[in-house]
Amino acid sequence: MGKIVTTMTTPRFWKVTNKAGENEPAEMFLYGEITHEKWFDDDVTAKAFAEDLAALNGCDLKLRINSPGGDVFAAQAIYNQLKDYKGRVTAQVDGLAASAATIITCAGDTVIMPGNALFMIHNPLTYAVGNADEMRKTADNLDIVRDTIVSVYLSRTKGKVTEDELKYMMDAETWLTADEAVTYGFADSVTDEHIENRINGNLLIMNSISCDLSKFKHGEKARAIFENIQKPKKEAKKNMENKETLGLLQKIADKLGIGEKPEPVQDKTAIENAVKAERERIINLEAMLTGDSVIDAIINAAKEAGQTADDIKAYIDAVNKAKESETVNNAAVEAMSNIIKDNMESGAANVTATAPTVDEKQAAIDEIVNIANGK
């Protein structure tokens, strides 16, 4: 059976495909904002949704969600219809389940999320016009709506989070990663699938669906989570060196001198001086950070190994010189930092070594440049 065709009398924010004839579950795509057009005017939208759901004849359903939220009453109605549905419902967050969309997500018998999907809960919002009594009534109504949402969340999380904790999380507008959603019970498992996403200004774009972060109270939290999720991708890309390049670059790490660690100090003044010196060492190193992946990795390796800014300045200058060359082997240059870091983390940093002489350091610098340039 193909797509369900119904008369489009009102805007739809869902799409249903029935694949039951192919021994696969039917799919419902709930992408974009959950709208309220005519939901209360004549119940046409609610009725159309119920009809589309009923046409699946109780077969298993995969509910695919990618939505910044929208009308909470529409979401509650969808939730109730899905909970009454006879077939098994698997909810998959294809990018973002935020605000009212989380209510619908909770209707799944099983909820799964890709590793870089996001889940956000907050208190219901509305616009109000009127006198003080009317404003107070609106606030009371919002409390009632919040309680109904909390009830949905409690049912889904099954004791992993309390009512008070949920209310606190909603007050704070809480953004969760897929792993955190599993911890709190909003989701059951995290898949290896990774969705396409990016940030463009205030827009968080996930699987081609845009979410304006400026509309949320703490949209900056979503940005921070997004950027943190992206880091493993960047690290994986940097580690694509071949074995031949690694063999050539291993000698670079061997030539880097590791500064001697200071002897333990006993008296209070000496301790304070040592702490001050270490703080200044870290500050001076961090001042050299440029955002360049290779240079920053060398600096971080130096921080771990106890080296100073003066110890590594010549090496960084050499890397910059190699990068500027037209014949530079980019893969080799990018691999430098990983070789150096691997060397530092292998335990070599715990071995006392003598700093290289001027001639030895210059020889190492020349070799870095030669290898980086493929010579």
Q: What residues are labeled active site?
A: 99, 122
Check if the beta carbon of residue 107 is closer than 8 Å to that of residue 89. Answer: yes
CA 287 to CA 176: how far, in whole Å? 33
Q: Encoding tokens for residue 17? A: 């495909």
CA 297 to CA 336: how far, in whole Å? 9
Phi, psi of 200 (to 5 degrees): -125, 100
Give the long-range contacts of residues 17-21, CB within 8 A, separation 24 or more. 18/55, 18/56, 18/59, 20/56, 20/57, 20/59
List Cα–Cα distances, 213 to 120, 205, 227, in angstroms. Answer: 12, 10, 14
Alpha helix segments (H runs only) across the chain? 44-54, 72-84, 100-105, 132-157, 163-171, 178-184, 219-238, 243-255, 268-286, 293-305, 309-324, 330-345, 358-372
Beta bridge partners of 177: 118
Provide the 3-class DSSP secondary structure of residue 171. helix
CA 192 to CA 183: how far, in whole Å? 17
Check if the beta carbon of residue 146 is closer than 8 Å to that of residue 170. Answer: yes
Dmax of the chain from CA atoms? 86
Reference 257, options 296, 301, 289; nearest CA is 301
Alpha helix segments (H runs only) across 116-189? 132-157, 163-171, 178-184
Q: Is the dihedral of CA 85, 89, 93, 94 positive or negative?
A: negative
CA 203 to CA 214: how far, in whole Å? 8
Phi, psi of 348 (to 5 degrees): -65, -25
CB atoms within 10 A of CB 72: 21
